[in-house]
Amino acid sequence: MKKVVKKHPLAIRWFHWINFPVLTIMIWSGLLIYWANSVYQIKIGNTVIYKFFPKGLYNALNVPFHLAKGMSFHFAFAWLFIINGILYVAYTAISGEWHYLLPNKKSFKEAWQVLLHDLHIRKYEPLQQKYNAAQRIAYTAIIFMGMGSVLTGLAIYKPVQFSWAMFLCGGYEAARVEHFILTIGYVLFFLIHIFQVIKTGWNNFQAMISGLEVIKTENQISANERA
Amino acid sequence: MSGRDFFSKRTKEVSNTAYRKRMIFSFLIFTILVIAGIFAWKWLNNQPGDQGALKPLRKTLEVNEKLLTSTFDTSKKAKIFDVKDAVKNVRVNGLIGMEKTIDTSAWRLLVVRGEGDTLRISLAEIETLPKEDVVFDFKCIEGWSQVTHWAGVPLKAFMDHYHLFTQQTLSYIGLQSVDKKYYVGIDMPSALQSQTILCYEMNNKPLPMNQGYPLRLIIPVKYGIKHIKQIGTMYFSNVKPPDYWAERGYDYYAGL
């Protein structure tokens, strides 16, 4: 006999694994579009710290001169990104899964302790339910980022017809910058997410495929029951 | 909420066989989906092109276009800026279909009303029509934008003046440069939007050569690719007129 926890409902596993390639395609096609006017850079005074993006990166990814291609992919896959996102949010809201996802009052204090633990400064991990406080904040923030990408995207896509979106973003140029920053945010999220998944190990990773996570010791439950 | 919520509710005992079955089943499905995804991606990228865009993507652009045309609201105006916000050095982009010199005395705007029925209108005549200034954020499909100042006759007023009323009931306007090397098609609602002008002035001066002298289109509800320079011919149609950039993979609508 094995003791398992039904960690991820089937629907959430679907949303997760559909979103992964779709978001990747959105970022890639967005890069093809951005290349046509790649003007953003980080500057201190007059010194350019980093230019988005260096020629080498563009060439390595075969980015140059694919604006039309980028737009045709971007405005097709945007549908999948939006529909998948809406279904995910609707599912978590209706099923009650949101209980385990939304940060609560304690989360912001606890997230700090999680960070200290992850950095090996603090020995004990705060007690958690499905997700720890840092995860709750991250997985909720990423949904708001998604909404932000849709809003800023609409503002750039149809600044006259969706002038309300452009207004909310603070103008056309501002919407473009925000859309870009959110995308950088996804890339950073992705890198940290992958790192954490590898670090946490197979049992946790395979739960996003099978849905079940094996509970190895009694401590895991009893520790949580004490919370 | 206590820890009971998640772990107590969701924890159960399963037999080793049931567990193994579940693992094999879910990983099998997952593998099939990954392979299906790779094949779907390959299939999509191997689809024939339709005017420079992969067919399914072109179809999607057309669905987007239908949706946007049907919800197009002519009362929504591009944001108007103050004249002093307009830049002095206006960016020049797109020299396809541009003649080096144009003989204004010989130049006429050809307006094809119907078969064998073409109006020939001089610049002087167009300049007598009511003039409107448009100061707006010109947006290039490449991603840059610039507040610029233009003036000319609103296309709607121009069409009314020449009694092009039945033409206004058609779906599209087609425009060609003098040498016919550059051409655009524009849906009628966008063309008749009040900010669309047949433009002959920039920053209160006649249009410079590289900005489309003697006459260009300024249509703030579209990307720059639709703002055709050095217009030679105007015609009307219920089928989509050929469009230079739409033939090269871009969205035909290109609306904002």
Alpha-carbon gap, residue A127 to A80, rounded angstroms: 36
- Residue B10 shares a structural domain with residue B96: no
The residues near B221 (Cβ < 8 Å, ≥ 6 apart) are: A160, A161, B78, B190, B193, B195, B196, B255, B256
pLDDT at position A219 over 70: no
Residue A226 or residue A207, greater confidence: A207
Alpha-carbon gap, residue B10 to A130, rounded angstroms: 10
Q: What is the pLDDT of residue B255?
A: 93
pLDDT at position A60 over 80: yes
Segment B201-250, tens digit of pLDDT:
999 999 998 899 899 999 999 999 999 999 999 999 999 999 999 999 99
Residue B111 banded pLDDT, cuts 50, 70, 90:
very high
Contact (CB, 8 A) for B188 and B172 = yes
Q: Which of A116, A127, A106 is nearest to A220 (CA)?
A: A127
Residue carrying structure tokens 């790192």: A195
- Residue B33 shares a structural domain with residue B146: no
Residue B82 banded pLDDT, cuts 50, 70, 90:
very high
pLDDT at position B11 over 70: yes
Could you tell me how many residues make up chain A?
Answer: 227
At position B198, the amino acid (one-letter code) is: L
The secondary element (H helix, E strand) that includes residue A184 is: helix A172-200
Alpha-carbon gap, residue A82 to A143, rounded angstroms: 11
Contact (CB, 8 A) for B145 and B137 = yes
Mean pLDDT over each residue of chain B, to the nearest integer: 92
Q: Tell me, what CATH number does B231's domain have?
A: 3.90.420.10
Q: What is the pLDDT of residue A72?
A: 95
Contact A17 B33 (CB under 8 A): yes
Q: Structurally, how many domains does chain B consist of?
A: 2
- Residue B27 shares a structural domain with residue B142: no
Q: What is the pLDDT of residue B4?
A: 52
Alpha-carbon gap, residue B57 to A79, rounded angstroms: 12
In a domain, B254, yes or no: no
Q: Which of B7, B15, B32 to mutate to test the interface with A (most CBs of A within 10 A)?
A: B7
Alpha-carbon gap, residue B157 to A220, rounded angstroms: 76
A81: number of Cβ within 10 Å: 20
* Residue A106 touches partner B, C-beta closer than 8 Å: no
Q: What is the pLDDT of residue A115?
A: 78
In a domain, B58, yes or no: no
B77: number of Cβ within 10 Å: 16
Residue A78 or residue A7, greater confidence: A78
Alpha-carbon gap, residue B58 to B249, rounded angstroms: 8
Segment B123-134, tens digit of pLDDT:
999 999 999 999
Contact (CB, 8 A) for A142 and A183 = no
- Residue B18 shares a structural domain with residue B131: no
Residue A226 banded pLDDT, cuts 50, 70, 90:
very low
Q: What is the pLDDT of residue A4?
A: 87
What are the domain boundaries of chain A?
Answer: 4-226
- Residue B41 shares a structural domain with residue B67: no
- Residue B161 shares a structural domain with residue B37: no
Per-window interface: A 32-61 vs B, CB < 8 A: 33-34, 36-37, 39
In a domain, B174, yes or no: yes
- Residue B98 shares a structural domain with residue B12: no
A39: number of Cβ within 10 Å: 12
pLDDT at position B251 over 80: yes
Residue B115 banded pLDDT, cuts 50, 70, 90:
confident
The secondary element (H helix, E strand) that includes residue A139 is: helix A133-157
- Residue B8 shares a structural domain with residue B90: no
Alpha-carbon gap, residue A55 to A57, rounded angstroms: 5
Instruction: Looking at the complex, report in whole angstroms how far the Cα of residue A49 sits from the nearest Cα belonging to chain B.
Output: 22
Residue A169 to residues A34, A75, B53, B65, Cα–Cα distance (Å)? 18, 20, 31, 24
**What backbone phi and psi angles, to 5 degrees, belong to B192?**
-90, -5
Q: What is the pLDDT of residue A73?
A: 97
Q: What is the pLDDT of residue B13?
A: 87
State whether residue B103 is helix, strand or coil. Answer: coil
- Residue B34 shares a structural domain with residue B77: no
At position B105, the amino acid (one-letter code) is: S
Q: Which of B1, B8, B45, B57 to mutate to test the interface with A (most CBs of A within 10 A)?
A: B57
Mean pLDDT over each residue of chain A, to the nearest integer: 88
In a domain, B70, yes or no: yes
Residues of A in contact with B6 (CB under 8 A): 5, 100, 129-130, 224
Residues of B in contact with A212 (CB under 8 A): 14, 19, 22-23
Alpha-carbon gap, residue B170 to B236, rounded angstroms: 7
Residue A200 or residue A225, greater confidence: A200
pLDDT at position B69 over 60: yes
A120: number of Cβ within 10 Å: 7
- Residue B38 shares a structural domain with residue B154: no
Residue A217 banded pLDDT, cuts 50, 70, 90:
low
Q: What is the pLDDT of residue A218?
A: 56
In a domain, B111, yes or no: yes
- Residue B213 shares a structural domain with residue B102: yes
Q: Under CATH, domain A4-226 is a member of which superfamily?
A: Transmembrane di-heme cytochromes, Chain C (1.20.950.20)
Average pLDDT over residues B14-21: 90
DSSP B131: P
**What backbone phi and psi angles, to 5 degrees, belong to A74?**
-60, -45
- Residue B26 shares a structural domain with residue B131: no
**What backbone phi and psi angles, to 5 degrees, belong to A190?**
-60, -45
Average pLDDT over residues B38-61: 94
pLDDT at position A224 over 60: no
* Residue A198 touches partner B, C-beta closer than 8 Å: no
Residue A225 banded pLDDT, cuts 50, 70, 90:
very low
* Residue-range definition of the domain harbouring residue B38: 4-45
Average pLDDT over residues A11-18: 95
